[in-house]
Amino acid sequence: MNRTLLRLILPFLGGLSVTATTVPTRDDSWYQADTLKREEVGNRLITLANDPRIRLEMAEPAVVMSGDGRQPFLFSTGAGTLLCQAQLTLPPFRSKDKQVFMLRMGTAISRDGGKTWVAWTHQAQHDDVNLEGGAVPCADGTVLLLDTYVMKGAKPDHGVGELWKSRDDLRTVEGPFWVDFYLPHIHWAGSTDDRGKAEASARLHRSIIELPDGDLLATLYARFDGDTASAAYMPTMLKNRTVIVRSRDHGASWTYVSTVGVDSGVGTEGFVEPVLVRVNRGPHSGRLLCVMRTGRDLYQSHSDDNGAHWVHPRAMALPGVDVYAIDQWEGLFGYDPGAPGYIPRDEMNGSLVDPELVQMRNGILACGFGFRAPEKRYKENWHTPRNGDYIAFSLDGGDTWTHVVQFRSGAPTTQYLGMREILPGVLYVVYDDSMWKMPGHTQGFELKVTRVASPR
């Protein structure tokens, strides 16, 4: 195994801005220019469902990456360090002998709870580990980082993943380590992605958790035997399932454990973009909770035996959030319900995307997500107030979501966000304020979440 120790390059860029150290030729061919009138909006909390037992205080947003950065992910090392990664409007370096994302990933690091940020890379002019795959601080002080892409291995039913390690709070990293994934009956080929391009990888997404016995669990979505249903909006793209993989050797190898969600009749995409937490309080303490994107509603499932078995996924009940309320936005696309011969169109249905879960130390569960209205055509007109970024809260381990707020509404965004708890009862939330081929920033803010005692 080739093991290299690489010093991190941390150029101080001043204030909160992060800029690329090189400016290669842009590749703008894959998306269209946005021509809608841009109106700057001040983000604020809009309460859609109120639970008086929860009180929120939102701080003023600050810039994490200036002028670029979309669909951000956020991770914490557990030692006060935050790592944010987002897509840049630049092509990748293609420095790896494996699949990389079609856009370059930009990464920023903060060692003061999100007050200041500087650029982070393991090596200049190289593609960093794609942190969509997840990162976790382990009990022994090691931080593990997994690249999102798991590629077909040399042996049947085996894949190869990319692991990085840090033993000093991301001041240095070691890697890449090429790690084995045993995925029985996986199908690597036969599908495209949502742009119609051939897809031949499995995708790790967001979550790695360490169990009390030191085992690691991660969430992955892919296609296995029997997964032949097509996505509603892209017939060449097959619906995926979400599975759990386990490592008993600190990430050196991974094995399929169980399927969390598979149902060809659910949503437009199957079960994708999963996120996983371990409940820390109440009657469900120790339960694993998984939330997944489907292309319509978010779905959730849980396991009470460390992921060996899962209840059948159910749609999350999120008060004030309805992807089928097309009357609230179809007028922006020229449809009039009062017109003769009007017929509702499936393409007008909305979609909830890329959930994020944080189990807070005070027992509150926070679930962030984006709302696209409608599912695909939101890029043509994003002005409906329902379009934007949301956070839902649960006080009972995910059984119910009783407090729902929206913090970006009717403004350009890709509807992806990341969250981590930086202090007891304080979340740090990152999001984008633009869409592709539009100037904008990755931004972040503190959100104080207080559990209010019930009145006597």
Give the pLDDT confidence of 187-197 residue by residue, as tens digits: 999 998 888 88
- At a CB cut-off of 8 Å and minimum separation 6, what does 228 contact? 238, 264
244/217 Cα distance (integer angstroms): 7
What is the b/e burial string over 69-101, where b = at least 16 CB atoms within 10 angstroms of the residue's CB? Answer: bbbbbbbbbeeebbbbbbbbbbbbbeebebbbe
> What is the reported pLDDT for 438?
86
Q: Which two tokens stand for residue 258?
A: 């169980």
165/146 Cα distance (integer angstroms): 9
pLDDT in tens, 290-304: 999 999 999 999 999
CA 242 from centroid of its chain's CA atoms: 14
72/89 Cα distance (integer angstroms): 13
Residue in this structure with the two tokens 């703008």, named with its chain if needed = 28
Averaged over successive runs of 10 residues, the pLDDT of the chain (456 residues) comes to 37 29 29 48 86 97 92 94 96 94 95 95 94 97 98 97 97 96 96 88 97 97 96 92 98 98 95 98 96 98 98 98 97 94 95 98 97 95 95 98 97 96 98 90 96 75
Q: In terms of DSSP bridges, do strands 253-261 and 172-182 run parallel, antiparallel, or are they unpaired? A: parallel
447/455 Cα distance (integer angstroms): 24
> What is the reported pLDDT for 13?
29
> What is the reported pLDDT for 193?
87
Nearest to 395 by CA among 360, 447, 446, 352: 360
- Whether the CB-CB separation of 179 and 162 falls below 8 Å is answered with yes
Residue in this structure with the two tokens 């580990």, named with its chain if needed = 129
432/87 Cα distance (integer angstroms): 10
> Where do the structural domains in the chain lie, given as residue ranges?
39-66+316-335+347-456
> What is the DSSP secondary structure assignment for residue 284, as one 8-state letter?
T
Measured CA distances, 46 to 233, 255, 395, 397 (Å): 31, 43, 20, 23
- At a CB cut-off of 8 Å and minimum separation 6, what does 96 contact? 126, 127, 162
Nearest to 101 by CA among 114, 91, 116: 91
End-to-end CA distance of the chain, in Å?
63
CA 299 from centroid of its chain's CA atoms: 15
Largest CA distance in the chain: 68
The neighbour count for residue 180, using CB atoms within 10 Å, is 18
Residue in this structure with the two tokens 């899962």, named with its chain if needed = 310
> What is the reported pLDDT for 436?
85
> What is the reported pLDDT for 160?
98
42/408 Cα distance (integer angstroms): 8
Please tell me the number of Cα atoms within 13 Å of 200 on its side-chain side: 8
Please tell me the number of Cα atoms within 13 Å of 338 on its side-chain side: 1
CA pseudo-torsion sign 206, 164, 85, 159:
negative
State which amino acid sits at residue 62: A
33/437 Cα distance (integer angstroms): 6
Nearest to 369 by CA among 329, 444, 419: 419
137/418 Cα distance (integer angstroms): 17
CA 265 from centroid of its chain's CA atoms: 23
Q: How many residues belong to the chain?
A: 456
